[in-house]
Structure 1
Amino acid sequence: MTIVAIFEAVAGREDELAAALAALVAPTRAEDGCLDYDLHRDLERPGRFLFYENWTTRAAWNAHMESPHLRRHRETSPPLVARAEILQMEPTEGPD
Structure 2
Amino acid sequence: MTNIAFVKAKSGLGDDHGRRLMDLVEPSREEAGCIIYDLHRSETDPDLWCVYENWRSAEDLAEHFDLPHMQAFAAEVPRLVEGDLDLRRFRMISKPAS
TM-score scaled to structure 2, two decimals? 0.91
> What is residue 79 of structure 2 aligned with on the other side?
79
Give the Cα separation in 1 of the matches to 2:76 and 2:47.
Answer: 18
How many aligned positions are there?
A: 93
> What is residue 90 of structure 1 aligned with on the other side?
91
Q: Secondary structure at the match of 1:88?
A: strand
> What is residue 49 of structure 1 aligned with on the other side?
49
> What is residue 19 of structure 1 aligned with on the other side?
19
Shift of 1:46: 1.0
Give the Cα separation in 2 of the matches to 1:44 and 1:75.
Answer: 27
After the TM superposition, which parts of structure 1 deviate over 6 Å for at least 4 consecutive aligned residues?
Answer: none
State whether residues 20 and 77 of structure 1, in contact with CA within 8 Å, keep that contact through their aligned partners in structure 2.
Answer: no
How many percent identity over aligned positions?
Answer: 32
Structure 1: stretches of 5+ with no match in the other structure: none
Shift of 1:23: 0.4
Between 43-52 and 77-86, the greater mean CA deviation after superposition: 77-86
Aligned Cα RMSD in Å? 1.0
Give the Cα separation in 1 of the matches to 2:24 and 2:17.
Answer: 11
Which structure carries more strand by proportion?
Answer: 1
Shift of 1:90: 1.0
TM-score scaled to structure 1, two decimals? 0.92
Structure 2: stretches of 5+ with no match in the other structure: none
Letter in 2 for 1:75: A
Give the Cα separation in 2 of the matches to 1:35 and 1:28.
Answer: 10
